[in-house]
Structure 1
Amino acid sequence: MKRFLALTLLLVSVASAAWAQTALEQAENFYRQGKFSAALGIYESELKKVPNDPYLYYNIGNCYFKMGSRGLAIANYYRAFRLAPRDADIRHNLTLSLSSVGERLVPSGVPVVLHQAFYSLSYSELKGLLFALLWLFCALASLWLLKRKWGRMLAASAVILLLCAGWFYLRHTLQVEHLAVIAAPVAEIRSGPGTNFPASASLAQGHLITVEDAKDEWYEVIVKSQGLKGWVEKSAVEQI
């Protein structure tokens, strides 16, 4: 009976993997044929099974970009970038799509090399490194207290731990920031949460915004690239 159950589970897992591979191959074929909507449907269905796959987000972004939905393309490229920041294709497509709407991935005045170094690890990888360094520091501190040895190694580990903690703090600040993108063709920035408030500006799709507050069907947002602050309808925004 145990062998039968094991064999059944093995067959089910193999069949599931084969089905996933077939579905992705079908999506790639649709994409090559210019059937972007069909490919998008498959990628979004697969994403429900593997919600943290950066390459599914990347492919979804490609579909939206080809379909002319720059805002949704940028949102998905950004999700992919957060999960796999070292991937050159993800960085390139995100940079390209942002520049097409007048936005930048690398802040003005920051060297590209420094930005790449800052994002050389994903958020989860950086968190794991911080915990590993903390464990090493605690181990060395215990040995130093017991045997008064490896004092220099303890000091060096303390410096590295502090540097890593500062790096993680900066990344965490950006990670928890409520970043979003304008997904509607045009969104009006109003002085209050309602159409009865006057519009101070309008934004085309693709512009990055930071969500500060919410009320009813409206978000209070900041547009850093243009120095604007106001309220935008939720339906015009895609949160990242």
Structure 2
Amino acid sequence: MKKYLFLLLLVGTTFYAQDVQKVFDSANELYQEENYEKAIDLYEDVERLNFTSSALFYNLGNAHYKLNQVGPAIFYYEKALQIDPNNEDVKNNLVFAKRLALDSIEELPQSFFQKIDSNYLKSLSYNEWAICAVIFTFLGSLFFVFFYFTYSSGTKRFFFVSSMFSFFLLFITLAITYQQFSNFSKYKEAIVFAEETSVMNAPTLNSEDLFTLHEGTKVMVLDTIDNWKKIKIADGKQGWIIGTEVKELN
């Protein structure tokens, strides 16, 4: 009985994957025909089926970019980079999309460690760092087994040093994985979707306006109260914005 249930599940999953691929291919055809609005509808159908990939978000970003929809274009390019941080095509298109955004915000100077984090550590997602940790665990264990069963002193020394070095790299990758996951969970990024919105000094409509943001600007979400979100922009300014006017990336 369990065997038949497994086969039914496998067949159902296969047909489901084929259906998703058909919708995705149809959306790609509509995009090639420059029917961007209908292509977006089909891409979003695929997304609603809980199918996510860098290619899907990249194509969604491209379709919105063709329609001059700056906020959604930047949003989906950023989503694509979360899955594949080293995708050069996405990075290049994101640069072009950001040029359409009205806000020009000068970023705060980064410290030495912040530069290392943004330039190197974030080149891999926390899931990819976790995979590195698993690889170093396997290598460290394998080298230790070789060390245990080898009798030549020179070879034994080589395997011992290799094993200790692998475990050392394991601890480093575990620390990086924890840091990246903690930052991902704690600091939520979002993209402004409203064409223009005011940032207030308190989460109420009658509070004072601090500054104005426009569609496509990336912000950090620090807190949420009712339908308000406390945000921080690249130059360090903070304030409250209506929650429906931004869309979180995480």
Query: TM-score, with normalisation over the residues of structure 1?
Result: 0.79
How many Å separate the matches in 2 of 1:130 and 1:7? 34
Per-residue CA deviations over 1:85-120 (Å, capped at 9, x if unaligned) read 222212222233234434699x8799x999665344
Query: Where does residue 123 of structure 1 map in the other structure?
Result: 126
Per-residue CA deviations over 1:124-162 (Å, capped at 9, x if unaligned) read 122122133245446767887999964322331233224
Q: 1:171 to 1:99 in 2, by over 3 A?
A: farther
Query: Where does residue 76 of structure 2 map in the other structure?
Result: 76
> Aligned match of 1:211 in 221, 226, 232?
221
Query: Where does residue 184 of structure 1 map in the other structure?
Result: 194
How many Å separate the matches in 1 of 2:203 and 2:26? 44
> Aligned match of 1:156 in 152, 165, 171?
165
How many Å separate the matches in 1 of 2:9 and 2:182? 43
SS of 1:78 mapped into structure 2: helix
Greater mean alpha carbon deviation, residues 4-13 or residues 124-133: 4-13
Q: 1:135 to 1:11 in 2, by over 3 A?
A: closer
Structure 1 residue 215: deviation in Å? 1.2
Which amino acid counterpart does residue 153 of structure 1 have in structure 2? Answer: S
How many Å separate the matches in 1 of 2:118 and 2:90? 15
Q: 1:195 to 1:18 in 2, by over 3 A?
A: same
| CA contact 1:223–1:229 (8 Å) conserved in 2 | yes
Query: Where does residue 153 of structure 2 map in the other structure?
Result: none
| CA contact 1:83–1:123 (8 Å) conserved in 2 | no
Greater mean alpha carbon deviation, residues 58-67 or residues 15-24: 15-24
Q: Does 1:98 align with 2:101?
A: no
SS of 2:203 mapped into structure 1: coil
| CA contact 1:136–1:157 (8 Å) conserved in 2 | yes
| CA contact 1:69–1:183 (8 Å) conserved in 2 | no
> Aligned match of 2:238 in 226, 229, 239?
229
Q: 1:199 to 1:118 in 2, by over 3 A?
A: same
Q: 1:199 to 1:21 in 2, by over 3 A?
A: same
Q: Does 1:63 align with 2:63?
A: yes
Structure 1 residue 67: deviation in Å? 2.1
| CA contact 2:130–2:174 (8 Å) conserved in 1 | no
- Flag structure 1 segments of 5+ consecutive residues without an equivalent: none
SS of 1:194 mapped into structure 2: coil
Greater mean alpha carbon deviation, residues 62-71 or residues 227-236: 62-71
Query: Where does residue 53 of structure 2 map in the other structure?
Result: 53
How many Å separate the matches in 1 of 2:204 and 2:133? 45
Query: Where does residue 165 of structure 1 map in the other structure?
Result: 174
